[in-house]
Structure 1
Amino acid sequence: MLLSIRTVARGLLLLVMLLPHPLSLASERPNLLLVVCDNLGYGDVGCFGSTLHRTPHLDQMAAEGMKLTHFYVSSGVCTPSRASIMTGSYPLRVGMHVSDLGHKVLQPVSPKGLHPNEVTIAEVLKEAGYATTIIGKWHLGDQPEFLPTRQGFDSYFGIPYSDDMTQREGKPWPPLPLMRNEEVVDAPVDRNLLTKRYTEEAIRYMEEHRDEPFFLYLPQAMPGSTRAPYASDAFRGKSQNGPWGDSIEELDWSMGEILAALKRLDLEENTLVIWTSDNGAPRRNPPQGSNKPLKGWGYDTSEGAMRVPGIVRWPGRVPEGVVCDELCTAMDLYPTFANLAGDEVPDDRVIDGRDIWPLLTGHPEAESPHEAFYYYDRGDLRAVRSGQWKLYLPTDARGGPDAPELYDLVGDIAEEQNVAGDHPDVVARLLALCEPARESIGDGDQTGREAREPGWVENVTPRAKAD
């Protein structure tokens, strides 16, 4: 029997998807540019629904590339979320789910940080021959043993923790330091100029490394954690949404400058650019950021906290004007980048991320590589998603529903209808999916059998002031 052209084409497509992905690319390994904003919400830019903020460059980037509308970070708050980007693993698996003081994020002069034995994505790419740099907010430990330059980055320019962690009554922290590599070059840094300085530094880096493959990690400081975000003179007071809007419109300008530099340097045809946020916008009164149409705010396990906007651009490789509605995560960037670089992820530890290159290239047969995605708050498993369904777990004294709550995240994006009573089979299936996570990663007092330890130092040293 003769096969139809469609059948043959589908078969060839599946064969291509099974091949090692770097073989399908150009012989040159792509530059990898990852931009992660701080606390920027799902509905804070125009291409994701904002009518308040002018974001023409991000809107154009989305038109020329792909929007990820079911893209998740592993935590609703920054330290654990960033730990997952670096390690491809859930925060609890690498011990970065909580600070030494029990807080959700690390504070300045903490004895805790990302363990030096963790193999970061920067180390994987460096091993593959990439130049690596971070320009922006680190927040995975400010002691020398934990700095980016000890975790696979050739260079570092930025602040070691959140922009709101400044000296004030009851907080005897050092002045907010701007660092170059392991030295303080400005303290306290003028936060109004961070976006501008980071942008200039990023463009300078691309100019200097245009002839070799590079990994540029640009975790922006804004809109940040303060209640009055910062922006330079060119943007301050210019938006329709106060300081929050000012900072987002400057972030849009920043992305425009970086994309223009890629074109000017003849690098855009060989550079994968991914833009996203570390978690959703926090609750403020009056509201500043927006996670609409999602429910909830940053810092918890709601959709608004952990589902973030994602834009992917690589002319000729990532299709234009496409929306990916498959579940994928920031943890997936680790194995995806490794494969694009022609390297492999470590095989001596569990990596929770999965290669999503088939999704990013728009293959019609590509599906989410995750049977389940887990929502953790510190060390507690609070919810699980599988396919279209999200199940909030009953958590008794830990805060949460008294009984499981089930929502259809495709048909009910705002989570207005609890349908647990209508789908007991789905509830049972998702509850069963939680058990492997508890056994491997952990939950509450249960330690995961494949969890790893964070790093600790015995003596902490505050950052010195700049000369």
Structure 2
Amino acid sequence: MRLPRLFMICILLMGIFPTVAQGQTKDQQPNIILIVADDLGFGDLSINGSKQIKTPYIDALAKNGIRFTEGYVSAPVCSPSRAGLLTGVNQVEFGHDNNLGGNQPGFDPEYNGMPVSQTTIADRLKSLGYATGIIGKWHLGKLPQFHPLKRGFDEFWGYTGGGHDYFEALPNGKGYKEPLESNFKTPQAITYLTDDKGDECIDFIKRHRDEPFFLYAAFNAPHTPMQATKSDLTLYKHIADKKRRTYAAMVHRLDVNVGRIMETLKKEKLDKQTLVVFISDNGGPVTTNASNNAPYRGQKGILLEGGIHVPFIMSYPDLLEKNQTYKNPVSALDLAPTFVALAGGSQTIEADTFSGENLIPFLQGSKNATPEREFKWRFTISAAIREGDWKLIRLPDRLPQLYHLPTDVTEENDLALERLDITKALLKKLGDWDVQLPHPVFLEGPMWRKRQVSLYDYDYIMKQPE
């Protein structure tokens, strides 16, 4: 059992450590593991209704903890979503509301990444005595000032770009073939990248088992390129569509490695004192990786539910009841304040710096949920607001869209003109917030904005494939 370090020092100085240490579980700092899938469809976990893909280990994680049925991310694409996730601050409030790509004319490339002014979860937990590590995808800037080792992480094994080949890295490779890097070992040759990441997560846990640790397990499955092992493809040979078959195999391999992480915690006798969160960085891009976001309409890149409503699971056996379902809306922005609070950070100082809320009082029932809690999004050409049961989406080429989510989960019945009172009120709140936001510190290419508009008109399949 581990106690906060300052507390341990005080006890040692008092000469009564053996007496106080017994049963002092309320002062224990939990290990924290944040597992992030990449481009995973909401409907592609068996616990979320998938009829094709079996995910027993992720399902078991949910049964050992809490499944959030109304879990959101703060952006519908990788980089801004991760910027919000890792800071606990809505990323548009510090100018990170585009996806990272090549630098656009007129912008300073030195700012092409998550602003260095922002404090990450790793920064905060490191200051509280945690060993911090990231395994996998970064995608928050490639220049030295943005590197994860300068953003609070002690250890890094992975790549700084937005995706990677699953079978190959080249010494002088670019893009998806860029070399893997590590500050604590010479990276081994890739076998299958999802498995290699699992190996590194397991090694991290074993190395740091005797101290509080924060592990950011940043998988890239099932992000493109669509590559799976032959054995996993065989498991899903009954799926006729080749891309969907490959996707299913990739999700299967992700699930297996979640299971390996959880089994390691059990073997090291750390499972009960470790908070594990599983989440996807955004909705599945159904048009590129054959994912399925059922029952939601939309996909990665847009603010319909299919782009931002994601699988969201939390397990912490020492503190939270098992096999629970939490039905009130929550956000990935809530994770940072939750982690800091559990680690012993001062909420009187930290509370005002986060966009999200510490979830623990809600989950333990000591604080009433706020059904009218407000969530706001802005991403390039689009913006949205959810307040209670109502959600409004604002686009540049049409009237605003208003949906009553409990009765219209697929967002097909636009009530903007029928409920002008709500439309006007939400537009005003969204606009008042929007005009106070800073300019983006970088932009993605204009071809992406045109594509995003078109995705609002795509004919989505909103049921589970057989």
3-state DSSP of counterpart to 1:317: coil
Partner residue in 1 for 2:136: 136
Superposed CA deviations along residues 57-82 of structure 1, whole A, max 9, x for unmatched, are 11122122111111111111101111
Structure 1 Cα separation of the partners of residues 177 and 113 of structure 2:
20
Q: Which amino acid aligns with 2:304?
A: S
Structure 1 Cα separation of the partners of residues 59 and 334 of structure 2:
24
Are residues 1:322 and 2:321 paired? no
Unaligned segments of structure 2, at least 5 residues: 1-23, 443-466
Q: CA deviation at 1:153?
A: 0.3
> After the TM superposition, which residues 223-302 of structure 1 pair with which residues of structure 2 at under 5 Å, given as runs?
223-226=222-225, 228=226, 230-239=227-236, 240=239, 241-284=244-287, 288-302=290-304
Are residues 1:153 and 2:149 paired? no
Superposed CA deviations along residues 233-268 of structure 1, whole A, max 9, x for unmatched, are 542432244110011001111111111111111111
Superposed CA deviations along residues 56-115 of structure 1, whole A, max 9, x for unmatched, are 111122122111111111111101111111111222222222247478xxxxx9861122
3-state DSSP of counterpart to 1:133: strand
2:46–2:55: 8 Å Cα contact kept in structure 1?
A: yes
Partner residue in 1 for 2:215: 216
Q: CA deviation at 1:160?
A: 1.3
1:339/1:427 Cα in 2 relative to 1: closer, same or farther (>3 Å)?
same
1:63–1:321: 8 Å Cα contact kept in structure 2?
A: yes
Q: CA deviation at 1:425?
A: 2.7
- Note the aligned Cα RMSD (angstroms): 3.0
1:37–1:219: 8 Å Cα contact kept in structure 2?
A: yes
Structure 2 Cα separation of the partners of residues 245 and 173 of structure 1:
24
3-state DSSP of counterpart to 2:258: helix
1:199/1:164 Cα in 2 relative to 1: closer, same or farther (>3 Å)?
closer
1:354/1:367 Cα in 2 relative to 1: closer, same or farther (>3 Å)?
same
Q: Which amino acid aligns with 1:282?
A: P
Structure 2 Cα separation of the partners of residues 193 and 138 of structure 1:
18
3-state DSSP of counterpart to 2:263: helix
Q: CA deviation at 1:424?
A: 2.8
Structure 1 Cα separation of the partners of residues 316 and 230 of structure 2:
32
Partner residue in 1 for 2:446: none
1:340/1:279 Cα in 2 relative to 1: closer, same or farther (>3 Å)?
same
Structure 1 Cα separation of the partners of residues 351 and 49 of structure 2:
42
The farther-off stretch of 270-279 and 158-167 is 158-167
1:354–1:369: 8 Å Cα contact kept in structure 2?
A: no
Superposed CA deviations along residues 182-201 of structure 1, whole A, max 9, x for unmatched, are 99846xx74x6111111111
1:256/1:167 Cα in 2 relative to 1: closer, same or farther (>3 Å)?
closer
1:238/1:162 Cα in 2 relative to 1: closer, same or farther (>3 Å)?
farther
The one of 395, 402, 418 equivalent to 2:414 is 418
> After the TM superposition, which residues 41-60 of structure 1 pair with which residues of structure 2 at under 5 Å, given as runs?
41-60=41-60
Unaligned segments of structure 1, at least 5 residues: 1-23, 104-108, 455-467
> After the TM superposition, which residues 57-456 of structure 1 pair with which residues of structure 2 at under 5 Å, given as runs?
57-98=57-98, 99=100, 101=102, 112-163=112-163, 173=175, 175-181=177-183, 185=187, 190=190, 193-226=192-225, 228=226, 230-239=227-236, 240=239, 241-284=244-287, 288-344=290-346, 350-361=353-364, 363=365, 366-368=368-370, 371-378=373-380, 380-393=381-394, 395=395, 398-399=396-397, 402-442=398-438, 447=439
1:183/1:272 Cα in 2 relative to 1: closer, same or farther (>3 Å)?
closer
Q: CA deviation at 1:364?
A: 7.8
Q: Which amino acid aligns with 1:237?
A: T
2:221–2:250: 8 Å Cα contact kept in structure 1?
A: yes
Structure 1 Cα separation of the partners of residues 228 and 73 of structure 2:
25
Structure 2 Cα separation of the partners of residues 319 and 112 of structure 1:
42
3-state DSSP of counterpart to 1:340: helix
1:235–1:249: 8 Å Cα contact kept in structure 2?
A: yes
Structure 2 Cα separation of the partners of residues 389 and 74 of structure 1:
17
Structure 2 Cα separation of the partners of residues 176 and 74 of structure 1:
28
Structure 2 Cα separation of the partners of residues 70 and 59 of structure 1:
17
Structure with greater helix share of residues: 2
1:149–1:182: 8 Å Cα contact kept in structure 2?
A: no
Runs of 4+ in 1 over 6 A off after TM superposition: 165-168
Structure 1 Cα separation of the partners of residues 231 and 175 of structure 2:
31
Structure 2 Cα separation of the partners of residues 69 and 119 of structure 1:
29
3-state DSSP of counterpart to 1:79: helix
1:374/1:58 Cα in 2 relative to 1: closer, same or farther (>3 Å)?
same
1:100–1:110: 8 Å Cα contact kept in structure 2?
A: no
1:333–1:355: 8 Å Cα contact kept in structure 2?
A: yes
1:110–1:141: 8 Å Cα contact kept in structure 2?
A: no
1:411/1:25 Cα in 2 relative to 1: closer, same or farther (>3 Å)?
farther
- TM-score, normalized by length of structure 2? 0.79
Superposed CA deviations along residues 144-173 of structure 1, whole A, max 9, x for unmatched, are 2211100000000112122258999xx975
1:93/1:343 Cα in 2 relative to 1: closer, same or farther (>3 Å)?
same
1:250/1:392 Cα in 2 relative to 1: closer, same or farther (>3 Å)?
same
Superposed CA deviations along residues 22-72 of structure 1, whole A, max 9, x for unmatched, are xx9722111111000000011110001111101111112212211111111
Structure 2 Cα separation of the partners of residues 86 and 158 of structure 1:
17
Structure with greater strand share of residues: 1
Structure 2 Cα separation of the partners of residues 173 and 262 of structure 1:
34
Structure 1 Cα separation of the partners of residues 138 and 26 of structure 2:
32
Q: Which amino acid aligns with 2:406?
A: V
1:368/1:271 Cα in 2 relative to 1: closer, same or farther (>3 Å)?
farther
Q: CA deviation at 1:347?
A: 5.6
